[in-house]
Chains A and B, each alone.
Chain A
């Protein structure tokens, strides 16, 4: 299967920002990104974490060791991450490029995902972590690259949000799980 354009864009952007270490907690749309990394970006190390907060802890250690880390997570995991962000990454000025696969935004089918989906941007703003949103598959690479460059330049983490409109409702973005749930556009 050809990788969806948005997923290739995320990988290109992470790579162009200089990041070679991606710590992640899996998510259905992000599975495409992981596949592109595995097949087309062999110099990128993928590190599976059991929980989002742990992912940010590992990323902090990678940065202390001279790496430029990326964390990929689903927006529902932002709640799990807050103590790491607010009491480690932000006060120590440890930057992490953060790629967030959105749940709970336009196109959501699961009510349990909606409250955090609504809160994501307000949470980032209230803790002082800049964020931007990928508007289309075509602009994903540049948006992610800029988020990463800004993070590593300013030493403040920067989040790039991937809305479901981009990740699950465009041609070729047809994860198996979404097919099972009858969400194929």
Chain B
């Protein structure tokens, strides 16, 4: 399964759910798989996609939040797993596109190429619903499981390692960060706080 194929499955099953994508190839593939207002593309802050998704999931427990992370990115912010395991938002689905390399920067192997097990890390941080998937069918099955009757308190956060092969991205999302934010917030029915137009 290429990362793009895995991303296409996720977009298809996400419905109207917001998707937060880590910078670089995960964001590029999300754009290629299906640009939509509910996509939040990051252009920096490597490692923080899961944290942004966590904050969004806490703010909006009424819908499911999907995060597309990378193995290299998550390894920059492993503490995030502890925080997710602590807060356990039932509506958060964290998918790590694990290609075992820093693909965006030239393909240097990550520790997952040498046995680092991110699913085991998630379980060790008290995230109960976890899986490592290698095919589109497995990914599809597990994602459907994770989406049942959200936000059911028993379902807890879902953590999926998708073992993917690298596929050269074919497109890039818009570069205007403020545009991305405004379109995203409008897409999930949020408005930024308006200034009161008077002295504070």
Binding site for B on A (CB under 8 A): 18, 21, 23, 45, 47-51, 53-54, 56-69, 83-84, 86-88, 91-94, 145-146, 149-150, 152-155
Contact = CB atoms under 8 A, between A and B. Distances in A.
A91 B41 CA distance: 13
Contacts of A45: 58
Contacts of B60: 65-66
A86 B43 CA distance: 11
B165 interface: no
Contact of B47 (A53, A66, A69, A154): A53
Contacts of A59: 55
A93 B181 contact: yes
A93 B79 CA distance: 25
Nearest to A91: B177
Contacts of B126: none
Contacts of B42: 88
List the 4 shortest-distance A-B pairs measured between CB atoms, nearest first.
Answer: A61-B55, A87-B44, A65-B59, A57-B51
Contacts of A53: 47-48, 77
A60 B44 contact: no
Given A65-B58, A65-B59, A65-B60, A60 B52 contact: yes
Contacts of B20: 61
Given A88-B45, A94-B181, A152-B193, A61 B83 contact: no
A91 B51 contact: no
B51 A54 contact: yes
B77 to A, nearest CB: 6
A167 B184 CA distance: 40
Contacts of B185: 64, 66
B148 interface: no
B200 A150 contact: yes
22 contacts: A18-B193, A21-B59, A48-B83, A49-B51, A53-B77, A57-B52, A57-B54, A58-B52, A58-B58, A61-B59, A62-B59, A63-B55, A64-B52, A64-B185, A65-B188, A66-B185, A86-B44, A88-B42, A88-B45, A88-B48, A91-B43, A150-B200
Contacts of A68: 193
B55 A83 contact: no
Contacts of B190: 64-66
Contact of A60 (B43, B48, B87): B48
A68 B194 CA distance: 12
B137 interface: no
Contacts of B53: 61
